[in-house]
Amino acid sequence: MVELIPAPRHVTRTSSGHGWLDERTPLLAGPGTEGVARWLRATVGAATGCPLPDGGESACPLVLGIEPDLPPEGYHLAVSDTGLLIRGGSATGVFHGAQTFRQLLGPAAFRRAPVTARRVWEVPALAVRDAPRFRWRGLLLDVARHFMPKDGVLRYLDLMAAHKLNVLHLHLTDDQGWRIEIRRHPRLTEVGSWRARTKFGHRASPLWEEKPHGGHYTQDDIREIVAYAAERHITVVPEIDVPGHSQAAIAAYPELGNTDVVDTSSLSVWDTWGISANVLAPTDATLRFYEGVLEEVLELFPGEFVHVGGDECPKGQWRASPTAQARIKELGVGDEDGLQAWFIGHFDTWLAARGRRLIGWDEILDGGLAPGAAVSSWRGYAGGVAAARAGHDVVMCPEQHVYLDHRQHDGPDEPVPLGHVRTLEDVYRFEPVPPELTPEQAEHVLGTQAQLWTEVMEDLARVDYQAFPRLSAFAEVAWSDLPAPAERDFADFERRMGAHYGRLDALGVSYRPPAGPLPWQKRPGVLGRPIEGAPPHR
Ligand code: ACM
């Protein structure tokens, strides 16, 4: 049977025959599908050497069209010896159909230039009817801990599109780096985008890489990333993390920190992992500063959601700070948790007034939220359950299941033995909807998201290694209409992965080898050795 990932809802072989592409195949793009045609020519056209002209004679043309009766992201693909027909409920549906079509052409269709002398590309005669389970099928890229140059982000957008993922959550700021140009606050990147050295491996490791690390995206880079994503029907959600995870910003602008308890003028961009104690001061000046940041962010990112972090904000400095304590009294918010809720609530209202919606990590539930705000549930399922019960939309990102920085094997054969073991099969059996939700509450689960936190991923090859093949399994969880976890046919998924590895090879993905002894197992070195006494957590 056909080896598609993610699995479509229905596939039937309609005859033993086939359709085909060759150098004369015309690509007839109906109204609204011109962007998909452009994408097909740039990718499938480049890989196959078939130019896909917009007219001409052929017994088997490639035809794209919108059929509004289909679900917006759904599509029908019909292949026969009289045509290759892709119809979608919208251009997005047609795009997903085009992705399926590319998989049917074989792995060589994923290259950037032809590698075979093949003149005719056959596709089995079949009918595919498909639509996604969830509308938020996300991937977080942490470009703060290790900077990913723009080309890497564009490449991940291509990899996401190939897997029908549709939300890129860009984690743009953290203690260890600020990655987006903000014109009115230039020191955020002049100072905040570089650190002098980097903790190597786990935060308990004794090793440092003694060289500067950094980089940032200009506003034109961001515009290009957003446009490239849009052409692939992917929305980019920016994250500006407040009030914790902010040491890089404080290093750039010391007045943002709690200057009455620490000398923030001597802080630098953080060079180790974990959670910095240096958090934003809860002052009006800080709010105004970040309103300025967000004004520029809103100009660059047109999507509905803006992520404001809200996670892991240590309260020690606020406890010690007379300024923060006076603020708690003046606002009548009770304690430091109330102060954090006030801080997040300010941006919730501010974004809502500008027609956007706030999303934050599940800590933002503590202290109450405006109705439009949404939650990324990362500390297991509990935050997602609480959010959905309180009527908030939620994206399920539980650390135990879909944090792809966690190790893939329980042995000394992982480059850095970090976190819980999460195998390909574990990810395949992940269920995003918490079972305790009623059907109405479950409507609030917008979808799910895999996280690539990059403390231990210093380059693109390491990101690939942690992401794949598990991201392929995750994509199927997010897209396909799978049964309950225990009933999922993992053997069939592995069989289809057999073909999919060929596609990943053609795309140049440095995935974790699927089986057999890994090359470095025979000589475990510093990288492969578990770190004495290190907690099984990032
Ligand atoms: C998180 O992992 N702190 C969201």
Q: Rg of the chain's alpha carbons, rounded to an integer? A: 24
Q: Is residue 449 part of a domain?
A: no
CB 52 within 8 A of CB 72: no
Q: Where residue 42 sits, what CATH number does that domain have?
A: 3.30.379.10
DSSP one-letter code for 537 = -
Average pLDDT, the chain: 94
- Please report the pLDDT score of residue 516 as a whole number: 52
Q: Is the CB of 174 under 6 A from ligand 1?
A: no
Q: Where are the alpha helices (DSSP H) in 21-178?
A: 34-40, 46-48, 91-105, 150-162
Confidence of residue 523 (pLDDT cuts 50, 70, 90): very low
- Please report the pLDDT score of residue 95 as a whole number: 99
Q: Is residue 423 part of a domain?
A: no
Q: How far is the CA of 132 from the centre of ligand 1 (A)?
A: 27
pLDDT digits 0-9 by tens, 301-316:
999 999 999 999 999 9
> For residue 524, is pLDDT > 80?
no
Which atom of ligand 1 lies closest to the CA of 403?
A: 2
Q: Is the CB of 362 under 6 A from ligand 1?
A: no
Q: Is residue 164 part of a domain?
A: no
> For residue 525, is pLDDT > 60?
no
SS3 185: coil
Average pLDDT value for residue range 244-259: 98
Nearest CA to ligand 1 atom 3: 311
- The structure tokens listed for 419 are 């976190």
Q: Is the CB of 312 under 6 A from ligand 1?
A: yes
Element (H or E) spanning 248, and its range?
A: helix 247-252
> For residue 454, is pLDDT > 80?
yes
pLDDT digits 0-9 by tens, 124-142:
999 999 999 999 999 999 9
Give catalytic residues, as residue numbers.
174, 245, 312
Which atom of ligand 1 lies closest to the CA of 378?
A: 4
Query: Best mutation site among 276, 279, 311, 400 for ligand 1, i.e. most ligand atoms within 8 A of its Cβ?
Result: 311
Q: Is the CB of 136 under 6 A from ligand 1?
A: no
- The structure tokens listed for 57 are 């004679």
Confidence of residue 518 (pLDDT cuts 50, 70, 90): low
CB 290 within 8 A of CB 216: no
- The structure tokens listed for 59 are 């017994």
> For residue 533, is pLDDT > 90?
no
Confidence of residue 535 (pLDDT cuts 50, 70, 90): very low
Query: Best mutation site among 140, 142, 273, 312 for ligand 1, i.e. most ligand atoms within 8 A of its Cβ?
Result: 312
- Please report the pLDDT score of residue 526 as a whole number: 41
**What CA–CA distance (Å, rounded) separates 351 from 341?**
15
- Please report the pLDDT score of residue 531 as a whole number: 44
pLDDT digits 0-9 by tens, 319-367:
999 999 999 999 999 999 999 999 999 999 999 999 999 999 999 998 7
Alpha carbon distances (Å) from 68 to 10, 34, 37, 94: 19, 16, 19, 11
Q: Is residue 84 part of a domain?
A: yes
Tell me how many domains the chain contains: 1
Which atom of ligand 1 lies closest to the CA of 245?
A: 3
Decide which of 179 and 519 is more confident: 179
The amino acid at 367: G
**What CA–CA distance (Å, rounded) separates 289 from 86?**
48
- Please report the pLDDT score of residue 412 as a whole number: 63
Q: Is residue 45 part of a domain?
A: yes
Q: How far is the CA of 468 from the centre of ligand 1 (A)?
A: 21
> For residue 443, is pLDDT > 70?
yes
Q: Is residue 346 part of a domain?
A: no
Q: Is the CB of 273 under 6 A from ligand 1?
A: no
Q: Is the CB of 378 under 6 A from ligand 1?
A: yes
Confidence of residue 410 (pLDDT cuts 50, 70, 90): confident
Residues contacting 265, CB < 8 A, separation 6+: 254
Q: How far is the CA of 378 from the centre of ligand 1 (A)?
A: 6
- Please report the pLDDT score of residue 55 as a whole number: 95
**What CA–CA distance (Å, rounded) separates 435 from 484?**
10
Q: Is residue 82 part of a domain?
A: yes
Q: Is the CB of 361 under 6 A from ligand 1?
A: yes
Q: Is the CB of 403 under 6 A from ligand 1?
A: no
pTM of the model: 0.96
Q: Which domain holds residue 17?
A: 10-130
> For residue 520, is pLDDT > 70?
no
Decide which of 536 and 302 is more confident: 302
Nearest CA to ligand 1 atom 2: 378
Q: Which single residue is written with the structure tokens 């130019």?
A: 51
- Please report the pLDDT score of residue 369 as a whole number: 80
Q: Which single residue is written with the structure tokens 């977080």?
A: 140
Q: Is residue 94 part of a domain?
A: yes
Which atom of ligand 1 lies closest to the CA of 376?
A: 4
- Please report the pLDDT score of residue 413 as a whole number: 65
**What CA–CA distance (Å, rounded) separates 76 from 96?**
10
Which atom of ligand 1 lies closest to the CA of 538?
A: 2
**What CA–CA distance (Å, rounded) separates 465 from 424?**
12
Q: How far is the CA of 361 from the centre of ligand 1 (A)?
A: 7
Peptide bond into 114 cis (omega under 30): no
Helix then strand count (H, E) for the chain reads: 18, 20
